[in-house]
């Protein structure tokens, strides 16, 4: 661990002339349960000089920050970054570029810098855009990405839902705006992992009901957090006023095969 931090491996960008001297790490802190992150990442965070934590503009606190064991890292090391749910790509690009500049300022002074993200850093995460912005500004610098437990892996573990057996086809999909598109995907895949559901959740639940496959699905929201919702099947979910924020669906179009019994349904 410590040797790596002073001498990044070949997969990491090497420091060149005029490039930052510190090291930057993206850290996936898991879906919500405090402490559900790789040991090597936790060791780095304890040594870190600066830790950037994202916070949604609509939230009072950072979800990613809550995933860390409490009171283990000095408060002064954290830098909170506010993100708004913007659809304007130009505005978002400006925000990522600005944040990359702040991170680079710390790296240029030789500091160890981390950016926290819930789930996995390279799976539908703001970290992807920040890393690309850093690469654009400083093509050669020390960096490493520590993977994290995704919401769908946590939901699978909580419900015993197998994500792929044998040669089953699995698709990870951000929820489409139009339900006919989602229906077509479900019809041609064995399992669909549905992310970024948001306000579309009532429409998704209605579609699964219409396809009569709700009993083969699993739903989770705020997995690992105090307000966690986990359901095998969707019949118990309220369709009147559900929320799809931080929600995940595991969708099967037919019952799982009883392979251990040699039964094919």
**96: Cα separation from own chain's centroid:** 17
Mean pLDDT for 21-33 is: 91
Q: What pLDDT score was predicted for residue 259?
A: 59
Comparing 70 with 213, the larger pLDDT belongs to: 213
Q: Give the range among 64-73, 108-117, 231-240 with minimum mean pLDDT.
A: 231-240
- 134 and 219 both lie in a single domain: no
Contact (Cβ atoms closer than 8 angstroms) between residue 113 and residue 48: yes
- 86 and 13 both lie in a single domain: yes
Q: How many domains does the chain have?
A: 2
- 167 and 217 both lie in a single domain: yes
Which residues fall within 8 angstroms of residue 60, CB to CB, at 6 or more apart?
A: none
Structure tokens at 225: 């957090």
Mean pLDDT for 97-110 is: 91
- 136 and 234 both lie in a single domain: no
Cα 16 to Cα 142: distance, rounded to the nearest angstrom = 10
Q: What are the tens digits of pLDDT across the range 53-101?
A: 988 776 778 888 888 988 899 999 999 988 765 555 666 677 888 999 9
Q: What pLDDT score was predicted for residue 224?
A: 84
Mean pLDDT of the chain: 85
Confidence of residue 1 (pLDDT cuts 50, 70, 90): very low
Confidence of residue 264 (pLDDT cuts 50, 70, 90): low
Q: What pLDDT score was predicted for residue 85?
A: 57
Question: According to DSSP H, which parts of the chain are helical?
Answer: 2-6, 39-47, 63-66, 89-107, 126-137, 151-159, 179-188, 201-210
DSSP state of 7: S
Confidence of residue 4 (pLDDT cuts 50, 70, 90): very low
What CATH number does residue 28 fall under?
A: 3.40.1010.10
Residue ending a domain, among 125, 146, 167, is 146
Bridge partners for 173 per DSSP:
194
Comparing 198 with 250, the larger pLDDT belongs to: 250
pLDDT at 113 over 50: yes
- 46 and 142 both lie in a single domain: yes
The pTM of the full predicted model, rounded to 2 decimals, is 0.83
- 141 and 157 both lie in a single domain: no
What CATH number does residue 197 fall under?
A: 3.30.950.10
Contact (Cβ atoms closer than 8 angstroms) between residue 48 and residue 85: no
Structure tokens at 172: 């990870």
Closest CA to 231 of 241, 240, 242: 242
Q: What pLDDT score was predicted for residue 62?
A: 85
Structure tokens at 184: 């077509």
Residue ending a domain, among 129, 146, 163, is 146
Contact (Cβ atoms closer than 8 angstroms) between residue 81 and residue 56: no
Cα 86 to Cα 117: distance, rounded to the nearest angstrom = 18
Domain that holds residue 86: 2-146
- 112 and 205 both lie in a single domain: no
- 139 and 174 both lie in a single domain: no
The three-class DSSP label of residue 78 is strand
Q: Please, what is the end-to-end C-alpha distance for the chain in angstroms? A: 48
Of 100-114, 157-171, 181-195, 234-248, highest mean pLDDT: 181-195
């Amino acid at each position: 661990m410590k040797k790596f931090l002073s001498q990044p491996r070949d997969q990491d960008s090497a420091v060149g002339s005029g490039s930052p001297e510190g090291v930057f790490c993206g850290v996936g802190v898991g879906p919500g349960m405090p402490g559900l992150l790789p040991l090597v990442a936790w060791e780095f965070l304890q040594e870190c000089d600066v830790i950037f934590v994202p916070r949604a503009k609509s939230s009072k606190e950072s979800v990613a920050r809550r995933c860390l064991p409490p009171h283990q890292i000095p408060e002064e090391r954290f830098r909170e970054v506010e993100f708004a749910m913007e659809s304007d790509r130009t505005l978002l690009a400006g925000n990522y570029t600005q944040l990359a500049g702040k991170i680079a300022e710390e790296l240029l002074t030789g500091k160890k810098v981390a950016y926290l993200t819930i789930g996995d850093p390279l799976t539908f995460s703001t970290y992807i855009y920040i890393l690309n912005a850093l690469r654009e500004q400083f093509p050669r610098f020390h960096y490493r990405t520590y993977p994290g437990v995704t919401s769908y892996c946590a939901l699978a573990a909580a419900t015993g839902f197998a994500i792929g057996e044998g040669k089953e086809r699995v698709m990870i999909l951000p929820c489409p705006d139009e339900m006919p598109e989602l229906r077509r995907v479900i019809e041609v895949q064995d399992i669909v992992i549905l992310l970024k559901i948001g306000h579309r959740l009532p429409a998704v639940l209605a579609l699964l009901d219409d396809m009569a496959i709700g009993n083969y699905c699993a739903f989770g929201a705020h997995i690992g957090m105090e307000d966690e919702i986990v359901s095998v099947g969707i019949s118990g979910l309220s369709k009147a006023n559900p929320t799809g924020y931080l929600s995940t669906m595991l969708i099967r179009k037919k019952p799982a095969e009883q392979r251990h019994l040699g039964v094919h349904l």
